[in-house]
Structure 1
Amino acid sequence: MVLPKDIPSSAENYMDSQTLTKLPISSILIIIAMQTEALPLVEKFQLSEDQKSVFPKEVPWVRYQGIYRNLQINLIWPGKDLALGVDSVGTISASLVTYASIQALHPDLIINAGTAGGFKAKGASIGDVFLVSECAFHDRRIPIPVFDLYGVGLKQAWKTPNLHKELDLKVGKLSTGDSLDMSAQDESSIVANDATVKDMEGAAVAYVADIFKVPAIFLKAVTDIVDGEKPTAEEFLQNLATVSAALDQAVTKVIDFISGKCIHEL
């Protein structure tokens, strides 16, 4: 949405949430961790890479932007690690780019889209795309009263009953940690989180979005079955490209649904 000129354009000065939900959505921020996941969406929405970055020149973050169905789309990919040249995955990059993007772009809605591991015990299969109901961490163990709850960092995703009904997406809880594998301690925490999918970014995005009261939804496509028989890394790499295509289709359907609607209509 375009704010009136007499309202300061900063995240700290957003209008109250009740007012925001009654205005049409006009600006969407997509946070996506890997280039393989991002590029199909860049092509689908015909986005252009921003040659004059809104971010500090020292960071590798990449912004793709454009207009799709009257929506301003900003897709942010954290880019390649400057030392090692691999995708900047994980919670640190995710939280930093989410914070900086909110400050610079003032989105009406955040979509964190990406691939994830799924649990067959919770009904996940390769290629499934889940609409996340809530996010929590599984590797921030602080066994001190109240600090333990802070470590879990449970955050609710924005409720989207109409979107869920219209697109018939599967719904599940997300658990986030900074490791691709799963230790016994992580597994115990993931079970406690009642998670269907696990990733390396979602709860970090949710944490920052909650600070600034920006509605956020999460779409996670399953590349590997964590409680399956194949090694996680092998299965992830084997399915990354095809599952990214399924993610692309799901995100497109979500954006098409959002077009012309207000936040409260989701």
Structure 2
Amino acid sequence: MAPLQDDKAAEVTEVSIPKRPISTVVFIIAMQKEASPLVEKFQLTQESNSVFPNGVPWVRYSGKYKDLNINIVCPGKDVVLGVDSVGTVSASLITYASIQALQPDLVINAGTAGGFKAKGACIGDVYLASDVAFHDRRIPIPVFDLYGVGTRQACSTPNLAKELNLKIGKLSTGDSLDMCPQDETAIVANDATVKDMEGAAIAYVADLLKTPVIFLKAVTDIVDGNKPTSEEFLENLVAVTAALDRAATQVVDYINGKNLSEL
């Protein structure tokens, strides 16, 4: 079971909030199918002169939308197997590289996720995550256990959540699509409504580099439902990605012209 956080472990590093309007936004999106509708919506172009190291498969789209410089960064295709490079390792790397190179005012991790009907989640729901944690880093040694769970808070956005009527829930992250009994126990302890394969890793890097981050997660499958997760995920991916696209566009429209404290 994920351990309870003590006061020191739960302490969130304070992020300096600039008073000027948000200027540069970086979306971290794991799958190309999740990113494509937003690339089209914001009329972004793929950058040929990469700010990233030579040889990595990472892809960056950029452009101007209203008063915002929008970047969408994807980990690209695995160079051997040709599938989307999902998971915490790729997410950590592209988040670090993107923050270093682009110096965003705000990072948005947008993507699909599994949801729990026991917590009220339904297919197509879009959640704004309040807290994120890992559920598959089991280190049963004092203090290391807290490090493994790695609970962090997302950037506080009460006005955005209220204005857009987004559901709020906790997000739990692991590197497997399925859920073994040990993961389930940890997810319950994390009080999670949705689970993904990137969020907590992105939160770790953003916290490390003192960059505000928010999480938009659209539910493709009901983890505690009757259908196999992989089957339900593929069945709903296109429709749910459209819902994610609408929510992400609304978020961008809302933050345009505002500073972080106004969110």
TM-score range, shorter chain: over 0.9
Spell out the pairing of 1:27-176 with structure 2 (5 A cutoff): 27-176=24-173
The whole-number CA distance in structure 2 between the counterparts of 1:59 and 1:135 is 27
Alignment of 1:180 onto 2:177: yes
The structural deviation recorded for 1:65 is 0.1
SS in 2 for 1:116: strand
The letter of the residue matching 2:200 is A
The structural deviation recorded for 1:17 is 4.8
Where structure 1 has 5 or more consecutive residues not aligned to the other structure, the ranges are: 1-15
Find the counterpart in structure 1 of residue 4 from structure 2: none
The whole-number CA distance in structure 2 between the counterparts of 1:212 and 1:156 is 14
The structural deviation recorded for 1:70 is 1.1
SS in 1 for 2:251: helix
The whole-number CA distance in structure 1 between the counterparts of 2:254 and 2:52 is 30
SS in 2 for 1:196: strand
Given that 2:62 and 2:71 are in contact with CA atoms closer than 8 Å, whether structure 1 keeps it comes out as: yes
TM-score (norm 1): 0.93
For residues 107-162 of structure 1, the C-alpha deviation after alignment (integer angstroms, 9 at most, x for no partner) is: 00000000000000000000000000000000000000000000000000000010
For residues 42-72 of structure 1, the C-alpha deviation after alignment (integer angstroms, 9 at most, x for no partner) is: 0000000001111111100000000001100
SS in 2 for 1:52: coil
SS in 2 for 1:254: helix
Find the counterpart in structure 2 of residue 249 from structure 1: 246
The whole-number CA distance in structure 1 between the counterparts of 2:123 and 2:246 is 15
The letter of the residue matching 2:23 is S
Identify the match of residue 218 of structure 1 among 215, 221, 239: 215
SS in 1 for 2:91: helix
The whole-number CA distance in structure 2 between the counterparts of 1:153 and 1:59 is 28
The letter of the residue matching 1:254 is V
Find the counterpart in structure 2 of residue 11 from structure 1: none
Spell out the pairing of 1:196-235 with structure 2 (5 A cutoff): 196-235=193-232
Identify the match of residue 257 of structure 2 among 249, 255, 260: 260
Q: CA RMSD in A?
A: 0.9
The letter of the residue matching 1:115 is T
Aligned CA distance change for structure 1 residues 225 and 17 (closer, same or farther; 3 Å):
closer
Where structure 2 has 5 or more consecutive residues not aligned to the other structure, the ranges are: 1-13
User: What is the aligned residue count?
Assistant: 250
Identity %: 72
Given that 2:117 and 2:222 are in contact with CA atoms closer than 8 Å, whether structure 1 keeps it comes out as: yes
The letter of the residue matching 1:250 is A
The whole-number CA distance in structure 1 between the counterparts of 2:47 and 2:175 is 29
The whole-number CA distance in structure 2 between the counterparts of 1:232 and 1:90 is 16
Given that 2:15 and 2:212 are in contact with CA atoms closer than 8 Å, whether structure 1 keeps it comes out as: no
SS in 1 for 2:192: coil
Q: Which runs of 4+ in 1 moved over 6 A?
A: none
Find the counterpart in structure 2 of residue 26 from structure 1: 23
The letter of the residue matching 1:68 is Y
Aligned CA distance change for structure 1 residues 174 and 17 (closer, same or farther; 3 Å):
closer
SS in 2 for 1:166: helix
